[in-house]
Structure 1
Amino acid sequence: MKGMLEWRLVVAIPELCIVGGSNCLLSQGWVRQLKAVNQEAFEIRNLSIGAATSLIGIYRILNGEIPNGSIVIWEYAINEANHHKSGQSAETLFYYLDWFLELCALRDISVLPLLFWNLDEQLSNKPSQYRREINRRFASRGLEPIDFGPKLKEFAGEKKQDVKALYRDRAHYKLGTGFPRRIALQVFGNLRAARIPQRLTSFAGRELRLLRPEVLETGRFKNSILDAGIYDFSAPIRIRAKGKLLAGFVIAAKTGGAVDVFVDEHNIGAFSVQSPPSVQQPDRLLKHLVFWSNGVAPIEVEREIDISRSRSEEKPIVQNLFSWHAAEGSGEQDALVAILIES
């Protein structure tokens, strides 16, 4: 009817956030394939970062990048298995995973876990402690992951291919084999299986916080997957805090140096914030430092955390996927993003 107002029904499109590692970032990988089969059923946001673990998922949530009530695809297993192989304890990896799931539960975020395997694991008959326990961890929270370890073997059998032919290298699935699309179809078909994780009674009354210095940022780090305020290490950094020191988020750089970390004036160590010189990696990228290990409780902070450029001539602590080439480290491009505290 002329003059009658027209009403349009606007239906919100569910938001689907992907948090994982470099297999989620390949130009024609499974995420691109998922977007192709999605047909606008979901708004897809890819928040993945190479070499990351559940700690980066925690950062994304606490930084407000994953909306309450959304669906999250978790894909850190292959990276966490690599971190475990390189010396990080399963205890710390699972503690961060439990916290990630707890944060999702508190925000009504549904989770669908994907378990990718690196080539060495795929060919081995001796699963690591991390692999032996990861499925049970998710099941204890009411989640059912999609395990692509056995699914890759099934796919190889169907195509009459060697398992090795489905890998580009030891940590990445090969493109053009059809397996990335198989992943995408499997994920899309299982999205209804995403669930809000069950709470852990042991976490009742606890809180995770991102803490930053009470000064102006010295700059911003921005690329296609991250936009964060940063505090460079050219001057000492002080953060007032009280609680358990769990981790630090830093911008590592190929020309980075090392920093001393003090808790209540006690030096807990010098840590490299230098990324490997590989040409396949960007010059600067977000990484995490872990400040506790298996069998040792997280450090309690009573007043403050101080971080300053290390002047020591001794080799710093070099955690997995960091590097140390002292002669190359100018320290001009590395920076702090935030500290993770449990209180």
Structure 2
Amino acid sequence: MTNTQTPASFVILGGSNSLLTNGWVDKLKQIHPEPERIVNLSIGAATSAMGIYRLLTCTELPENPVILWEYSLNEANYVLNRQSPAVLSYHLEWLLEICARRGYRVLPVLLYNKAEATGAEKNPYRNALRQTLEGHRLTQVDAQRLWRERFAHLDADRLYKENPHYSTETDFLATLAAEVIEAGSSARVPARDPDLRQEFSGRDLQVVLPDIPASGTFTNRLLNCGLFPFRSDLPFSTAGRLLACYLIATRAEPAILFQSSAGERGPYSTQISPKEGGPLKQLKHLLLWSPKEPPLEVRGSLTLCPQAMNGRKPLVQHTMSWNPPAKDGAPGIGGLIGLLMEVDG
């Protein structure tokens, strides 16, 4: 590290590579002179929509932080699994808009799947992402460039533990962390495109909860929040456009449907894979719109309705699963933790 000024405070919004033991974030904490000024809000297997949730609901951010955005690898995977790039781009634009409004500097940390890094996989998401970040005039730390320029002696099998995860057995991640420290000093607040500024003008994002009290809590090392089980209809008094749903998914949850006076969306699976040895519950998000089916308009009231599918299959998004719940099986232990609404005013 050649810069002698005090490194920035960092808030990490990223995926599972940002949660690895001895991963790049752990290395960042080891070389930062004040590691207590590093806050890791990462959630694995998610996208910028989860980053928005974490940013809007976290109450203990360091002063004047640099936001380290590390969701490019995950979002590339979502595109490969039929998620619309336009949806991911819109959520990223909103995340950058929130940072611009708050005066937060942003430093994208671009990671890649092994198949992308070796050229075996081409993903159109990358070109769209590059245009977005350049449009906001953001400095970037690019793992692919670092590999080519300084670690070409490592073949891909040594650089990666598996397709979506870098190995923690080389010096690569420590060097990546050092580059983040260095680049943090030149990170900037996202430039606001005039057209997007006009589109977002008079709008905001809110995480909304049902009108009824939470009947439980979800607590782990990353999160502590109220939980609303999917056992009966959940009513909301809200208005705006429905973008996403945040939930604790388990192996035995029902499908859910969203209804307002303007229409409905779903039903969506709220289950995770039942594979042996897998987690019993996970924090997940559902992305509730597409270019062909725009965000559901809500004009004062919205209802989340658990659905008995009766042999039909719900919409199953990337990282989710579906197995019809047993007729007399135990109810799920998960539930809703919030909805993301785009609101006016």
Q: TM-score, normalised by structure 1?
A: 0.90
Size of the alignment, in residue pairs? 330
Can you list the C-alpha shifts for 1:126-147, whole angstroms capped at 9, x where unaligned?
A: 6322101212201111212111
For the residues of structure 1 that align with 2:267 and 2:35, how far apart are their CA atoms?
Answer: 48
Q: 2:306 corresponds to which residue?
A: 309
| 2:159 is aligned with 1:163 | no
* 1:231 paired to 2:225: no
C-alpha distance in 2, partners of 1:303/1:174?
Answer: 49
**3-state DSSP class of the match of 1:176?**
coil
Cα distance in 1 between the residues matched to 2:280 and 2:35:
36
Hey, what does 2:323 align to over in structure 1?
325
Q: Decide whether the 8 Å contact of 1:153 with 1:163 is kept in 2.
A: no
> For 1:289 and 1:283, how far apart are their aligned partners in 2?
18
Structure 1: gaps spanning 5 or more residues: 1-11
What SS class does the counterpart of residue 127 from structure 2 fall into? helix
Bigger Rg over Cα: 1
2 CA distance for matches of 1:131 and 1:265?
A: 35
In percent, how many aligned pairs have the same letter? Answer: 34
| Structure 2 counterpart of 1:151 | 146
**Deviation for aligned residue 1:180:** 1.2
In the alignment, structure 2 segments of 5+ residues that lack a partner are: 1-5
Q: Would the aligned equivalents of 1:116 and 1:149 in 2 still touch at CA under 8 Å?
A: yes
Moved more, 60-69 or 37-46: 60-69
Inter-partner Cα distance in structure 2 for 1:261 and 1:45: 34
Deviates more, 1:290-299 or 1:174-183: 290-299
Pair 1:87 & 2:59 matched? no
- The amino acid of 1:112's aligned partner reads L
**Which residue number corresponds to residue 50 of structure 1?**
44
Q: Which moved more, 1:237-246 or 1:328-337?
A: 328-337
The aligned residue for residue 116 of structure 1 is 111
Structure 1 residues 170 and 279: CA distance shift in structure 2, 3 A:
farther
* TM norm structure 2: 0.90
| Cα distance in 1 for residues equivalent to 2:125 and 2:322 | 27
Moved over 6 A (4+): none
Post-superposition Cα deviations, 1:76-110, rounded to whole Å, max 9, x if no partner, equal 00000001110111100000000000001111111
Q: State how far apart, in whole Å, the 1-side matches of 2:92 and 2:86 are.
A: 10
What one-letter code is carried by the residue in structure 1 that aligns with 2:232? A
Q: Tell me the distance in 1 between the aligned counterparts of 2:52 and 2:301.
A: 22
Deviates more, 1:164-173 or 1:198-207: 198-207
The Cα offsets for residues 175-221 of structure 1, whole Å up to 9 and x where unpaired, read as 11111111111111111122111233221111111111122111111
